[in-house]
Structure 1
Amino acid sequence: MKKLSMILVLATFCLFSCQDKADKVPADDSVEVTGPLEVVKSGTLSNQSGAGTRGTVQLVKDQAGKFYISLSDNFTTKFSTGTVTVYLSTASSLRLNESGSFQLLGLANRPGAHFYELQGNKDDKFTHAIIWCGAAAIPFGNALLE
């Protein structure tokens, strides 16, 4: 019962802190990618914090050799507006106090496909993608990239 109460409190907080506020919602940080892509790694998002997160995360490479993290067409989270961010991480949980253990990719303020260009080459130390609510500082989902 205590666990259920905690989830309800967190979900309520996220509903109000991570939802769309027309004048405060930052732009989506994803980029448009065309052409054939090679899937290097892939993982399925696990839902966390009752956010209803689902979809697939992939590390892909285009014909020019650029790497991207992609969220699938069916990516969604109940609170996909506001401060929902995408990170790469060295673990299944985001450790913001450990420099070098994460890389911020950008915002995911709408459901559906997103692409985030990786600067430089891919870094194999990052094993997970994390969907994070910045306003509530809680995870919305994670995926092991294999």
Structure 2
Amino acid sequence: MKKLIQFYPILFALLMGFAGCDNMGEEMPMNASTEIEGPLEVLKRGTLSNQSGAGTRGTMELLKGPTNKYYIGLSENFTTKFSTGTVTVYLSTSASLRLNESGSFMLLGLANRPGVHFFELPGSLDPKFTHGIIWCGAAGIPFGNTLLE
């Protein structure tokens, strides 16, 4: 019984953290998902791994558009249980988002609904960014990641 009681605060903290992703308490990223037209060339791809029990699934791709613009795209089957509010998409130099290390990440925008998203990159992808991260900004926890290869 004592072990069960010790488990409740942890469970409560996790549930509050997930619920926090439904709140718009933090500032919205400047570059939100955009619509694009024309043929896209897939340069790199990765399957998202679920983290923190968020139910994240789908693929992330580095895409080149017809006007030589580059994008990060989330697939039509992209989803997470908490895909509203502050679920954000990052590029990272590792599978773990290190927000305290400038230069180790690039914030792309919100993924506040399931399905397809495109985020325009400023120029081409810097080769130091090897991973895509799905992150709950309000709770500060990972919802998923992938190696782009």
TM-score by shorter chain over 0.5 = yes
Structure 1 CA distance for aligned equivalents of residues 108 and 54 of structure 2: 20
TM (norm. structure 1) is: 0.89
Structure 1 portions without partners, runs of 5+: none
1:76 deviates by: 0.2
Structure 2 portions without partners, runs of 5+: none
Deviation digits for residues 78-111 of structure 1 (CA, Å, limit 9, x no counterpart): 0000100000000000000000000000001000
- 1:85 aligned partner: 88
Equivalent residue of 2:138, what SS?
A: coil
- 2:51 aligned partner: 48
- 1:140 aligned partner: 143
Structure 2 CA distance for aligned equivalents of residues 144 and 6 of structure 1: 33
Structure 2 CA distance for aligned equivalents of residues 6 and 124 of structure 1: 41
RMSD: 2.5
Structure 1 CA distance for aligned equivalents of residues 103 and 145 of structure 2: 18
- 2:110 aligned partner: 107
Q: Percent identity?
A: 65
Using a 3 Å threshold, how does the CA distance of structure 1 residues 6 and 37 change in structure 2: closer, same or farther? farther
The count of aligned residue pairs is: 144
Is structure 2 residue 120 aligned with structure 1 residue 117? yes
Counterpart amino acid of residue 112 in structure 1: G
Structure 2 CA distance for aligned equivalents of residues 12 and 106 of structure 1: 24
TM (norm. structure 2) is: 0.87
- Which residue, out of 50, 62, 66, partners 2:65? 62
Query: Is 5-14 or 32-41 further displaced after alignment?
Result: 5-14
Structure 1 CA distance for aligned equivalents of residues 103 and 142 of structure 2: 19
Counterpart amino acid of residue 142 in structure 2: P
Is structure 2 residue 19 aligned with structure 1 residue 29? no
Which has the higher Rg, Structure 1 or Structure 2?
2
1:29 deviates by: 1.2
Structure 2 CA distance for aligned equivalents of residues 75 and 130 of structure 1: 13
Answer yes or no: is the 8 Å Cα contact 1:69–1:118 preserved in 2: yes
Structure 2 CA distance for aligned equivalents of residues 15 and 121 of structure 1: 33
1:120 deviates by: 1.6
Deviation digits for residues 106-143 of structure 1 (CA, Å, limit 9, x no counterpart): 00100000000001221111000000000000000001
